[in-house]
Amino acid sequence: MATAGHVDHGKTSLIKHLTGIDTDRLEEEKRRGLSINLGFAYRKLPGHSPIGFVDVPGHNRFINTMISGVSGIDLGMLVVAADDGPMPQTIEHLDVLRLLGVQNIVLVVTKIDRVPPARVQEVETQMQALLAVKEGRVPAFPVSNNSGEGVAALISYLEQRARDEIEKPAVGGFRLSIDRAFNLKGVGMVVTGTATAGSVSVDDFVVLQPSAIKLRVRSVHVQDEKADRACAGQRCALNVVGDIEKSAVARGDWLLDINAGPVSSGIDARVRLLDNAPFPLKHLSPVKIYLGARRVAGRLFILEGGRRLDPGADALVQLLLDDAVSCCHGERFLLRDDSESVTLGGGRVLDPYAPRTGKSRPQRLGTLRALDTDSPQAALETLVVEQGQLLDLEKFRHSWNLRTEEMENVCGPSLHRIEASAGSLLVSAARWQQGLDTIPEYLASWHQRNPHEDGIEIQQLSSGLAITPEAPLLAALLGDLMQHSVVTLKSGRLSLAGYRASVSSKDVEHWRKWEAFLLQRGNDLPLLSQVATQTGLTRKTLEKIARIAVNDGRLHKLTDTRYATPQQLAKLAQLVSDLVDDGQPITVINFKQRMGTGRKLAIEVLEYFDSIRFTRRSEDDRVILDAELPARLFNR
């Protein structure tokens, strides 16, 4: 629970009545009679965990501190003095509670001993009218911090609310926005805050962001009591150890699950300005963003509805932050003007990893509207099944702060998971099956139209398919089809498994020219450019003939520019064996001399023999791995 309300309306005194603890601990706070920093107190509750109270400052100069104190609370106590009635900070604090999604509010009218009963009723009526706009009628308690009148009724209500409160499920990775950090003698570094997601236990490893420092949790206190575990919704203090100094920890830093996603300086969100915002926000207006206990400067990039956001209006925006922050989908934030004099509105994170380019394209706006939901299942269904997107699974998991097993439960039968070089991707099961059906059908049609071609290049296939799969999806589809022997890939060309191109009479004529030139050259294997010059055949024709000849074993490819017949390679392999028989090492210079050719060609041949596992290089020498391999591979 947290207090909210104007300065000097009795928030701190009320907390003292409820808990017996004076939360104004700083000398300056006691001297000036107002709260400057956050105060924390607890009330024991038999048979239940203690009730935690956060006392926030009411002065407008400390609104930043107030905001950090109410993040993650269950109930807000809106405190209004009967003599003053609602004041500017009363309204602003109420706005803050609403913008941060605090739905449970209780009204406390203080200083009732200073005014007639009619005035108390008048103030309550005024406040109920303000609250009725959003919350409807809320529980109200008139109290006197001097006499204690009405405090017992408030305590009874709060204790019952605490007992009735449903414990938040400890889902997602652990997240805690740090609002205090200090060193205790003999204990070490202690950080405090309200856990907003997940859980953490003694000896768990966590990461401090944005500094990316790995820490271990040595001990845990929950609601001012020693515990083994802290969960979402609980006020906790963690004693952490690691390579860290107190100066490295600041209010607004995050303590996160060790597998949490990275920080980001671009956030896509839905923002709404308050009805009473004093002015509209223009495109790229400088603002201050309050997320958890963190305050960061940035600019508001308006993605839809023109280049202006009026009071009471909402829009999709991208927050361009000066510094990176940790956040995840659904987390709420506040917007204040750049001078931090007034609260303008707030919003909800939709994508913490916003793209820098294409941010306002129609497809991207469709993505953001799909993300504007509380359900990850619904978001996936819209993005992957309805919109047909290929989704980065890990990015989505990090964005929504889901643990691995939770992500598995979110993925239903309408989704298919594929493993790509860059990580796991999600595609709709229907789109996956369509790809498995379409590619063989396209290849069969292509073979009919090109009977003398042994296959199609992958890029040509991709551009010809009506389904236009993204490169990772196409690679996964082809991998699956090859694994199940539906298609084959040879020399960079795809074909249906078992397909053999028919050879035209012209192809036969071209091959005979090439073969004759190869046999004429003996050990001096020519480059394709030399073959083209000698035979008059074009490079394109030679590449086509090479594919056919390699597929049926008449040629072997040494490099992209050099081929050899099995007979030539059998003779060269015999030269290698002869070196061993003669007691000479298989070095480049020895092999070059036996071949009677240049050094470059000798190296290419030896490296080819290494690649087929006939030989293996050992420094400047080579050894024969399989003496029988040339006979098996090159005898036709």
Taking residues 468-495, report their average pLDDT: 92
Q: Which domains does the chain show, CATH number per domain?
A: 2-164 (3.40.50.300), 175-257 (2.40.30.10), 264-357 (2.40.30.10), 380-502 (1.10.10.10), 520-634 (1.10.10.10)
Is the Cβ–Cβ distance between 334 and 99 less than 8 Å?
Answer: yes
Taking residues 269-296, report their average pLDDT: 94
AA letter at 41: A
Taking residues 105-114, report their average pLDDT: 94
Most confident of 66-75, 91-100, 364-373: 364-373
- Per-residue pLDDT band at 38 (split at 50, 70, 90): low
Higher-confidence residue of 283 and 504: namely 283
Residue 60 confidence (pLDDT) above 60: no
| Closest C-alpha to 555, from 566, 541, 570 | 566
Residue 169 confidence (pLDDT) above 80: no
Q: Output 408-417 pairs: Cβ under 8 A, ≥24 positions apart.
A: 410/376, 410/377, 410/380, 411/380, 412/377, 412/380, 412/381, 414/381, 414/384, 414/385, 415/380, 415/384, 415/385, 417/393
CA distances from 42 to 23, 35, 165 (A): 10, 18, 16
State the Cα–Cα distance between residues 533 and 529, nearest whole angstrom: 6
Q: What pLDDT does 514 receive?
A: 92
Taking residues 547-576, report their average pLDDT: 92
Q: What pLDDT does 544 receive?
A: 87
Q: What pLDDT does 256 receive?
A: 97
Torsion of CA 368, 373, 376, 380, to 10 degrees: -50
Residue 530 confidence (pLDDT) above 90: yes
Q: What is the DSSP string of 30-54?
A: HHHTS--S-EEEEEEETTEEEEEEE
State the Cα–Cα distance between residues 354 and 360, nearest whole angstrom: 11
Q: What pLDDT does 71 receive?
A: 66
Is the Cβ–Cβ distance between 302 and 269 less than 8 Å?
Answer: no
Q: Read off the pLDDT of residues 443-467 as tens digits, 9 standing for 90 and up.
A: 999 999 988 888 899 999 998 998 7
Higher-confidence residue of 503 and 310: namely 310
Q: Say what the pTM is.
A: 0.78
- Strand order across the 423-428 sheet: 391-392, 423-428, 415-420
> Could you tell me the two tokens for 490?
């040879």
- Per-residue pLDDT band at 30 (split at 50, 70, 90): very low
Is the Cβ–Cβ distance between 480 and 496 less than 8 Å?
Answer: no
Q: What pLDDT does 31 receive?
A: 39
Q: Read off the pLDDT of residues 235-282 as tens digits, 9 standing for 90 and up.
A: 889 999 998 877 789 888 999 999 999 999 999 999 999 999 999 999
Q: What pLDDT does 293 receive?
A: 85
Q: What pLDDT does 636 receive?
A: 59
Higher-confidence residue of 5 and 376: namely 376
State the Cα–Cα distance between residues 441 and 452, nearest whole angstrom: 18
Residue 37 confidence (pLDDT) above 60: no
Q: What pLDDT does 302 receive?
A: 97
Taking residues 329-336, report their average pLDDT: 93
Residue 68 confidence (pLDDT) above 70: no
Taking residues 213-235, report their average pLDDT: 90
Percent of the chain with pLDDT over 70: 94
Q: What pLDDT does 32 receive?
A: 35
Taking residues 333-353, report their average pLDDT: 93
- Per-residue pLDDT band at 219 (split at 50, 70, 90): very high
Q: What angle do CA 142, 146, 151 make, to 5 degrees?
A: 40
Please classify residue 477 by burial: count the beta carbons closer than 10 Å to its beta carbon, then call 0-12 exposed, 13-18 middle and 19+ buried.
buried
- Per-residue pLDDT band at 547 (split at 50, 70, 90): confident
Residue 588 confidence (pLDDT) above 90: yes
Torsion of CA 394, 400, 405, 408, to 10 degrees: -70
Q: What pLDDT does 247 receive?
A: 76
Residue 24 confidence (pLDDT) above 70: no
Instruction: Determine the 3-state secondary structure of 230 from DSSP.
Output: strand
Q: What pLDDT does 36 receive?
A: 33
